[in-house]
Amino acid sequence: MAAHPGGLTAAAPAPPPAPEASSTGAVSIRQLVRSFGTKTVLDGVDLHIAPGEFVTLLGPSGCGKSTLLRALAGLDHDVRGSGVISVPDRVSVVFQDSRLLPWDTVLGNVTLGVREHDADARARKALAEVGLAGREKAWPHQLSGGEQQRVALARSLVREPQLLLADEPFGALDVLTRIRMHGLLQDLVAAHRPAVLLVTHDVDEAIALADRIVVLDHGRIATVRTVSPAIRSSADAAGHEALRRDLLNALGVEAAHTTEPAAVGR
């Protein structure tokens, strides 16, 4: 209970309803509202993600990207909100920080929370998929930043998620490592076929990975663009550049003469 200055006691705001389980494996968000105090961060968001679809979420800082991801993960109990969220049963989250336990080995970090009898075998398979076979007994401090993120990916994949939520997972990595991680993630998604929602500030990263790009602005969906395989691979160079300029304009960034990787709102 919360006490007012005059001595009256008022009930604390009820947490938003938890996400519902989806029998289809799809993600559905209807009229999602999330507020912190008097500030509304998400204002009536509607979004559908099909099974196996890769969606990237762009927008300036403070527009609600991470809030949306936390809502889907059921991690936003400390806010006020409403709306309906439907997600698959198996959901995994990857953050910008790998969040490895420093006192446990790589294998222990990957199997954390996995109760199945074959957890070790599944973890070894996942580590092999991310290129870390043979590093099971290593400690987190012995790994590079890119290797730590590979462990975080293995930890998410060992649960065979139907939905993978990724909050700027490559934001702290150098450019060459990020490019390698993009290829690895694409291969893993092709093999496991989860739906993916990836939050990023980087327009080029969004285009390189997504089937569809969603731009948030002031808590609402402002722009949605489909990305063809030819544009994603840059085989359609003109289409790639046109989409890039379109997204930068939607984000309020001057696209003329921009050739460097475009990051927004850092």
Structural contact between residues 76 and 119, judged by C-beta atoms closer than 8 angstroms: no
Res 257: pLDDT: 46
Res 255: pLDDT: 59
- Establish how many alpha carbons lie within 13 A of residue 16's alpha carbon, considering only the half-sphere containing its beta carbon: 28
**CATH fold group of domain 100-160:** ABC transporter ATPase like fold (1.20.1580)
Domain positions in the chain = 100-160
Res 121: pLDDT: 93
Res 124: pLDDT: 94
- The residue to which tokens 């003109």 are assigned: 238
What Cα–Cα distance (Å) separates residue 133 from each residue in 4, 106, 151, 176? Answer: 58, 10, 11, 21
Torsion, Cα 84 87 91 96, to 10 degrees, reads -50
Give the tokens for residue 102. 């420093």
Could you report the average pLDDT of every consecutive run of 10 residues in the chain (266 residues)?
A: 46 64 80 90 94 95 90 85 91 91 95 86 93 95 93 92 93 88 92 94 94 94 95 93 94 64 55
Task: Write the DSSP assignment of 37-91 as a string of letters.
Answer: TTEEEEEEEEEEE-TT-EEEEE--TTSSHHHHHHHHHT--TTSEEEEEEEE-S-E
Compute the C-alpha angle 98/102/103, nearest 5°.
145
Q: Tell me which H or E stretch contains 127.
A: helix 119-129
Q: Which residues share a beta bridge with 86?
A: 20, 28
Its pTM stands at 0.85
Res 11: pLDDT: 46
Structural contact between residues 107 and 136, judged by C-beta atoms closer than 8 angstroms: yes
Structural contact between residues 227 and 72, judged by C-beta atoms closer than 8 angstroms: no
Res 222: pLDDT: 93
